[in-house]
Structure 1
Amino acid sequence: MKKKCPYILMKVNIYGCGLSGLTVAHELVEKGFQVEIFEKAPIGGGMARSFRYDNGVPTEHSWRGYGPFYKNVFDIMKRIPVKETCPRDDFGTYYSIEEVKKHTTKDSLWTYYKGEVYDVTEFMGSHPGGSLILNAGGKNLEQVWEDLGYSWHMENPYVMKTLKKYKIGKLKEGFQSKTTYDNLNTDSLKFFLLDNSVSEKKASIKIHDVPYLSYIFSKVLFSNKRRRDYYKISFDKLVKNKISKSSFRYLVDFIGGAGYGIDKKSLSYAHYVLFFNHNFNVLNFKFFNRKDFLWKVLNKPTSEGWIEPWISFLKNKGVKFNFNVSLERIKHDGKKVEYCVVNATRVVAEEHIFALDPYSLKRILKRSNFPVLQPKIEKLSTVNNQISFRLGFRKKVKIPIKNTGLTFVESPYTITTYFQEDHWCPGTNLGMNGKIKSLMSGTLITPYYPGVIYKKSGTSLTKQQLLEEIIEQIFMSKDFLNVVENKITKEDIIFKEIFPDWEEKNGRLVSKNVKWNNNTLNQEYRPLGNTKYSNMFLTGGHNLTTVDVWTMESTVESGKITSNMILEKYNKKKAYLYSHSEKNEIIKTIQKMDDFLYSVGLPNIVDVLFIIVIIYFLLRRV
C-alpha cells in the first residue's frame, strides 16, 4: 500500500508590489501557496498608488479611469471585501432569497446569479432546453448549472448576454457583502474637449472620414500575424493629412492622447485600433451603445479605495509583505534561480516572480548575468514621460455636468484632468484642514512639446516653472473658463504640486519610477510570463497579453497569466482569466485566411477583396 505524500506548502517570492504582483499573490495564496512580497517603496500599488501629504492633500502618479473592457481588473476588485463604501441611492431594487423562492412556476419564474435577481418567465418559450428551465425557479442559478452539468454556461458570452436582459434587481443578502468594485462610481465619466477659444463646434469623427477609417481599422482587426508589421507604423503619421482636422483631433489628440492617457506621438497603428475596438466594440456593432464604452473612476483615492483594502485582505490570507527593501541580485545556475539577494540578505523559494517595471528589471538582469534575457528587456524599455500634477482651489469650482473629465486638446502639453471632489464620496478630505474646496488632478500627456511661457518641454523646466506652465495653459483656455459656472482666477489656487516621483537633476525633470508604454519600437520584445529558467517568471503590463495595450487591465491580466503558469505546473485549478482574443468564429476564419496571404507575401485580405471587387466590375463592363 502506497503512502500518501505529505502536503508541502510551496513558497513563492514576488519582487514588486504593483498591480501584477498583487494579482499573483491573490491568485496563489487562495490556492494554498505560501506567498511573500518584497517591495522597494514604502507602500504598495506601483504606478496605481496614491498617498497623502502631511497636510492631508491626496496625490497620485496619474488620475486613472476604469475602462469597460477591464474584465480581469473587475474580477479582482469583486473579490476584495471592504467594510463600507459611499452612501449611494442608485443601487436599484433589492429582493431577499425568501422572496425569490416564491417565484417557481411557469407563470412567474425567478432565479438569482452572483448576487443579482432575474425574472426569466418570458424566456421560457424560447429556452433551448424547454421546461428544464423550471429547475432554476427560486434557486441559485450557478448551483443549478453545476448540478445539471451546464457549468460551461458561466463562461458563454451569449448565455450571459441573454441572462442580462431579464435582470430585475439584486439580492439583499448580496448587498451586505461589499467589495472594492463598489467603490467605482456607477455613473460613467464624460469628457469635455476644451479649446483655447470658445467654440460650439467640438472635435468629432466626420462622416466623410468613416470609409477610410473603416478601411484601415478593418485591416488590423481582420489580421493576425500581419499585425507585427502594423505595430511598427505610427498611427499619427498614418492618418495625418488623410482625414479632416476634426476627426484627427478627436481620434489622435483626444482618444489617442489626453482622453485615455496614451502617448499619441509614439502610439502604433495596431495598438490604436485594438484600443479603440476594446472601448467601442466595433466588430460587435456596439459603437453607438454609450453604456458599453464609457469609463468610470473610483469614489476615493486609488490606494484608499482599492490598494489598501487589497493588501489588508492578502495579509489576512497569510501573504507576508516587506516594504522599503530592494532586490539587488538574482543567483542562478543556468537552469533555475537558486536565491535572490534582498537588502544584502539571501531569500529562497520554490518559485520566484519578478513583478518589476522593465527599467528596474533590466538593471537587475545586467547585474545578475542573464546574457539572453537582459538584452531583450533592454530593447523593451522605452521611456514615457507623462507627468502628473495637482492644483488645490480655495473655492469650489462648479462644473455643470456631473462626472466630467476635462481635456485641453489645444494645450501644448495636452493636459487631461478632473476635479476629484465631484467624483469622490461626499465629505472626502481634500487636505489643508478643509481649506481646499476643489482639487484638480491632471496629467501632461505630451510634455515634450514647447510650452507657452518658457518655450521649452516640460522635462526641461524646474518644478516651479512647470507648474507656471500648467496653470497658464489651463487658464488660456476660454472654453474652460466658459464651462466653469463660477468665476475663478489663478489667485484661487492655494496648493500646487508635481508628483514627487519627479526630481530635478542636471537641469531636467527625471522620474524615479519611469513609466512604460506601448509604441512602434517595443512590441516584438514584450516577454511572456515564463522564462528558460524553470522557477523564474515575469509579470507586468509590459508583458504580452491578449488586451495588448498597456493599461491596468493588461497589468492584472499578466498577473493572472503568470499565476496560471504556476498553478498548471503544480496541477492546481487555474484562476479565472478573461481573454480579449477574438471570439467571433467568422472573424477568426478571416484572420486565418489573411495569415495564409501574409505567409505567401500577398496583401492584406481587405485589399485583396477590394482588388477582386474592382476586377469583377471591370470585367462586367467589358
Structure 2
Amino acid sequence: MAEQRWSVSRRTFLRGTVAAGAISAGAVAGAPGFAAPPGRRVAVLGGGVAGLTAAHELAERGFEVTVYEARALGGKARSVGVPGTGRGGRPDLPGEHGFRFFPGFYQNLPDTMRRIPVPGNADGVWSNLLAVPEARFSRRDGDDILLALPDSLTAIQVTPDSIRESLAATITTATKMPPAEGAYFANRLMVFNTSCEARRFGQWEYTSWHDFVRGNQRSHEFRALISRSLTSIMVAAKENLASTRTIGSMGEQFLGNPLGHGNDGGLDRVLNNTTNTAWIDPWVQHLRTLGVRFELGARVSELVVRDKRIQSARLADARTVDADYFVVALPVEQARKLWSSEVLAVAPELSAMDRLFVDWMNGIQIYFRTPLRISRGHTAYVDTPWSLTSISQNQLWTHKLPSFGDGSVADCLSVDISDWHSVGMLYGKPATECTHEEIFREVWAQLSSHLNDREQLLRPADVHSWFLDPGITWQGAQNANADPLLINTAGSWDARPNAHGSIENLFLAGDYVRTDVDLATMEGANESARAAVNALLDVSGSNAQRCTGFKLRRTPELEPLRAVDASRYAQGLPNLFDTPT
C-alpha cells in the first residue's frame, strides 16, 4: 500500500524545519552565490529523469544540488529538435528518442509531475497528460484489432471466479483468438496473480515470460499477440528474455487499472505536447527556482575514492567535482564504467551490474504533409520483423505540427523499432547493419505491409521528411548506439544494486536500481531516485520528511489465494491454478 500523501506542502514543511543545516527552498532560490553549510552539498551525476527527480527531492529539503549532464537535460525522455528545419521564426521539427507513454498505474512519476508548476494548471505538468481512447494491433494481410480503452475508471466488486471469466471473455473478444486460447491465457494470468511473493521471487523471477505462457506450445496467433506484441507495446521488453515476475507484475497493474486498483488516470496516457514543452522545460525551470544548478557538457570520467568514501568526481575535461554526497544517475552502461578497482574494493556488490543486459530500442519519426488516420492511440504492427509500434502525434498535441518547421508538416508518425537484430523485408539485413536511409525505407515497407493491405493509409507522396534518433550513428559497416535501453532478463534481480550500498556517500538512481516496478521505465527511474534520496537523508542524519514511495498494487480479492499459495510454495507444490494443460 502507498505511504500517506503529504498533509502540508513540502515547501511549507521545509520552512518549519529546524534541523542543523536545514534551510528553506526559497532561501536557496533567493540567494545568489549561496554556499550550503558543510555536509549539504550534493553532486547529481546525470540529468535524465532519475537525476532531475533526485535534484527535485533534495532541493525541496534544503540541500545544495548541482546536476552534471554530458548532453541534454531530460535524457532519453527529452525532445530533440531536427536541426535546420525551422523556417519563418518557427522552431525546428520535434524529434525524440522514441515515443513514451504514462500508464495509469504509474504513481511515483505523476506525484512529481503534480509538483512542477505550470500557469493555469492546478496539478502542474500532470494536467498535460491525456488518455488515448484506443489501441490498434495491425496484422499483415489480416484483420486488425482495435481496442477501445476506458478513460473513466471506477472500482467494481470482483471475485476470483469473475476475474478469470472476465479475463477469458475480454481476451477472446479483443484479440479474436479462439475461446480455448483466451481461457488458457486467462488461466496463466490467474497463476501469476495468485502467486505469493516467495514464489514470484523464487520461481517466476527465473522463468522467462515466453516459457511461462508456454508460447512454443501455442498457436501462431497466441505467440504473436500475447507473447510478443503485448510485451513490446506495453512494457518495452522482449518476451524470450524478460522474467515472468516482472512482466506478470506489469500485466497485473494493467488489469487492475480498469478494476479501479492503483489508478492515477486512464490506462494509456500521453503528453499533450512535445516532451520538453509539456514537461522537461517547466521542470528544469522549477528546479532553478529551488536553487539547483546545472552543468551541461560535463561528462564524468572517474570517481576518486579515499578512506572508503567518494572524495570527488573527475570530468572528462579534467575538472574536479567536490561534494559531500554523490548521486550517480547515469544509465547502467555509463554508470558501470565508473566502477574502478578502487570503487569495487569498497563496494564489491557493484560488480554484479556487469551481468545486466542492454539492447537497442530507438525511434524514427516520419513527418507527413497530410493528417494520418491510423489510430487514436498506439499501434502495434504484430507481424513486422523489427517489432514496430507507433503513434500519430498531431491529433494529441495542443501545439500543432504546422507551427513547427516550414509550416507544411501536418502530422508525425513516431515509430519505435524494438528489434534491431532480425532481418528485414527489403535488404535482408538487421537494422544494426542498415544505413539510415535503408532503415527509413525498411520501416516504411513494414508499416505499409500492415496499413495498406485494406486501404492506402500511408502514401509516399505525403511524406515530408524523416528523422532517426541521433543516438544511432553510422560507423564503418554498421551502426553504433549511444542510447541503448536496459532490457529485463530472467534472474536479473540478483544483479541489480540497491540505491545505497557499501560506500557511505555514494547513491544510485536509475532504472537499473532495484525498484518495485523493476523495468526500464520513467517510473522506475523516478522511484529509484526517491529511494536514493531517502538513503541520503538517513546517512546525513536529516530529519526532513522522507520521499513518498508508491508500490505496485495487488488485487485485494485474490489475497486469500496468495496465502494458500504461500503454504503450497513452502511445501514445494505448484500454484493451485498451475495445471499441465
**TM tier relative to shorter chain:** 0.7 to 0.9
CA contact (8 A) 2:138 2:144 kept: no
Aligned counterparts of 2:325 and 2:59: Cα–Cα separation in 1? 13
Q: Secondary structure at the match of 1:422?
A: coil
User: CA offsets, 1:284-322, max 9 Å, x none?
Assistant: 9569x9997620110111122111110110001100110
Aligned counterparts of 1:480 and 1:326: Cα–Cα separation in 2? 48
Counterpart amino acid of 2:76?
Answer: M
Aligned counterparts of 2:235 and 2:441: Cα–Cα separation in 1? 24
Aligned counterparts of 2:176 and 2:543: Cα–Cα separation in 1? 51
What residue in structure 1 maps to residue 200 of structure 2?
A: 227
Tell me by how many angstroms 1:607 deviates: 6.2
Aligned counterparts of 2:176 and 2:548: Cα–Cα separation in 1? 38
Q: Is residue 347 of structure 1 aligned with residue 317 of structure 2?
A: no
Aligned counterparts of 1:565 and 1:592: Cα–Cα separation in 2? 32
What residue in structure 1 maps to residue 156 of structure 2?
A: none
Aligned counterparts of 1:5 and 1:83: Cα–Cα separation in 2? 35
Q: Is residue 543 of structure 1 aligned with residue 516 of structure 2?
A: no
What residue in structure 2 maps to residue 514 of structure 1?
A: 484
Tell me by how many angstroms 1:265 deviates: 3.6
2:548 to 568, 572, 576: 576
What residue in structure 2 maps to residue 311 of structure 1?
A: 284
Counterpart amino acid of 1:353?
Answer: V
- Unaligned ranges ≥5, structure 2: 1-18, 23-36, 86-91, 147-174
CA contact (8 A) 1:191 1:259 kept: no
Tell me by how many angstroms 1:595 deviates: 4.9
User: CA offsets, 1:173-217, max 9 Å, x none?
Assistant: xx6x451111112x3252111112252677345432344334433
Tell me by how many angstroms 1:427 deviates: 3.0
Counterpart amino acid of 1:182?
Answer: S
CA contact (8 A) 2:361 2:419 kept: yes
Aligned counterparts of 1:347 and 1:396: Cα–Cα separation in 2? 49
Counterpart amino acid of 1:34?
Answer: E
Q: Secondary structure at the match of 2:192?
A: helix
2:406 to 433, 443, 453: 433
Aligned counterparts of 2:467 and 2:367: Cα–Cα separation in 1? 9
1:261 to 236, 255, 260: 236
* Segment of structure 1 superposing worse, 297-306 or 187-196: 187-196
Aligned counterparts of 1:518 and 1:328: Cα–Cα separation in 2? 27
* Segment of structure 1 superposing worse, 297-306 or 428-437: 428-437
2:181 to 209, 215, 218: 209
Counterpart amino acid of 2:524?
Answer: S
What residue in structure 1 maps to residue 74 of structure 2?
A: 45
CA contact (8 A) 2:54 2:530 kept: yes
What residue in structure 2 maps to residue 108 of structure 1?
A: none
2:297 to 321, 324, 341: 324
Counterpart amino acid of 2:545?
Answer: K
Q: Is residue 36 of structure 1 aligned with residue 66 of structure 2?
A: yes
User: CA offsets, 1:410-453, max 9 Å, x none?
Assistant: 11112111111111115345643112122111101122211001
CA RMSD of aligned residues (A): 2.9
What residue in structure 2 maps to residue 365 of structure 1?
A: 339
Counterpart amino acid of 1:193?
Answer: F
**Is the alpha carbon distance of 1:517 and 1:29 closer, same or farther for their aligned partners in structure 2, counting shifts above 3 Å?**
same
**Is the alpha carbon distance of 1:6 and 1:80 closer, same or farther for their aligned partners in structure 2, counting shifts above 3 Å?**
closer
Q: Map residues 467-616 of structure 1 onto 2, 5 A cutoff.
A: 467-478=440-451, 482=455, 484=457, 488-569=458-539, 570-580=542-552, 582=554, 584=556, 587=559, 591=562, 594-595=565-566, 597-598=568-569, 602-606=572-576
Equivalenced residues, count:
505
User: CA offsets, 1:103-136, max 9 Å, x none?
Assistant: xxxxxxxxxxxxxxxxxxxxxxxxxxxxxxxxxx
- Unaligned ranges ≥5, structure 1: 85-174, 612-622
**Is the alpha carbon distance of 1:193 and 1:213 closer, same or farther for their aligned partners in structure 2, counting shifts above 3 Å?**
closer
Counterpart amino acid of 2:127?
Answer: D
Tell me by how many angstroms 1:496 deviates: 1.4
Counterpart amino acid of 1:575?
Answer: C
Aligned counterparts of 1:434 and 1:207: Cα–Cα separation in 2? 50
Aligned counterparts of 2:21 and 2:290: Cα–Cα separation in 1? 22
User: CA offsets, 1:203-245, max 9 Å, x none?
Assistant: 3454323443344334433232332332222222442144444
Aligned counterparts of 1:275 and 1:29: Cα–Cα separation in 2? 32
Q: Secondary structure at the match of 1:410?
A: coil
What residue in structure 1 maps to residue 388 of structure 2?
A: 415
Tell me by how many angstroms 1:63 deviates: 0.3
**Is the alpha carbon distance of 1:430 and 1:551 closer, same or farther for their aligned partners in structure 2, counting shifts above 3 Å?**
farther
What residue in structure 2 maps to residue 170 of structure 1?
A: none
Tell me by how many angstroms 1:583 deviates: 7.9
CA contact (8 A) 1:204 1:249 kept: no
Counterpart amino acid of 2:100?
Answer: R
Q: Is residue 181 of structure 1 aligned with residue 126 of structure 2?
A: yes
**Is the alpha carbon distance of 1:483 and 1:424 closer, same or farther for their aligned partners in structure 2, counting shifts above 3 Å?**
farther
CA contact (8 A) 2:401 2:410 kept: no
What residue in structure 2 maps to residue 19 of structure 1?
A: 49
Aligned counterparts of 2:111 and 2:204: Cα–Cα separation in 1? 31
User: CA offsets, 1:306-350, max 9 Å, x none?
Assistant: 111101100011001101111111112352211111231222222
Tell me by how many angstroms 1:505 deviates: 2.1
**Is the alpha carbon distance of 1:476 and 1:213 closer, same or farther for their aligned partners in structure 2, counting shifts above 3 Å?**
closer
Q: Secondary structure at the match of 1:192?
A: strand
* Segment of structure 1 superposing worse, 559-568 or 252-261: 252-261
CA contact (8 A) 1:205 1:251 kept: no
Counterpart amino acid of 2:328?
Answer: F
Aligned counterparts of 1:494 and 1:249: Cα–Cα separation in 2? 32
Q: Map residues 439-478 of structure 1 onto 2, 5 A cutoff.
A: 439-478=412-451
What residue in structure 2 maps to residue 74 of structure 1?
A: 110
User: CA offsets, 1:56-88, max 9 Å, x none?
Assistant: 11111110011011111111111101235xxxx
Counterpart amino acid of 2:321?
Answer: V
What residue in structure 1 maps to residue 353 of structure 2?
A: 377
Tell me by how many angstroms 1:373 deviates: 3.8
Counterpart amino acid of 1:347?
Answer: V
Aligned counterparts of 2:382 and 2:290: Cα–Cα separation in 1? 46
CA contact (8 A) 2:44 2:65 kept: yes
Q: Secondary structure at the match of 2:270?
A: coil
Q: Is residue 240 of structure 1 aligned with residue 215 of structure 2?
A: yes
Tell me by how many angstroms 1:389 deviates: 0.2
What residue in structure 1 maps to residue 249 of structure 2?
A: 274
* Segment of structure 1 superposing worse, 194-203 or 316-325: 194-203
**Is the alpha carbon distance of 1:286 and 1:81 closer, same or farther for their aligned partners in structure 2, counting shifts above 3 Å?**
closer
What residue in structure 2 maps to residue 167 of structure 1?
A: none
User: CA offsets, 1:125-182, max 9 Å, x none?
Assistant: xxxxxxxxxxxxxxxxxxxxxxxxxxxxxxxxxxxxxxxxxxxxxxxxxx6x451111
Aligned counterparts of 2:370 and 2:453: Cα–Cα separation in 1? 16
CA contact (8 A) 1:329 1:368 kept: no
Tell me by how many angstroms 1:272 deviates: 1.6
Aligned counterparts of 2:454 and 2:129: Cα–Cα separation in 1? 29
CA contact (8 A) 1:474 1:480 kept: no
> What percent of counterpart residues are identical?
20
Counterpart amino acid of 1:377?
Answer: M
CA contact (8 A) 1:397 1:438 kept: yes
Aligned counterparts of 2:240 and 2:558: Cα–Cα separation in 1? 34
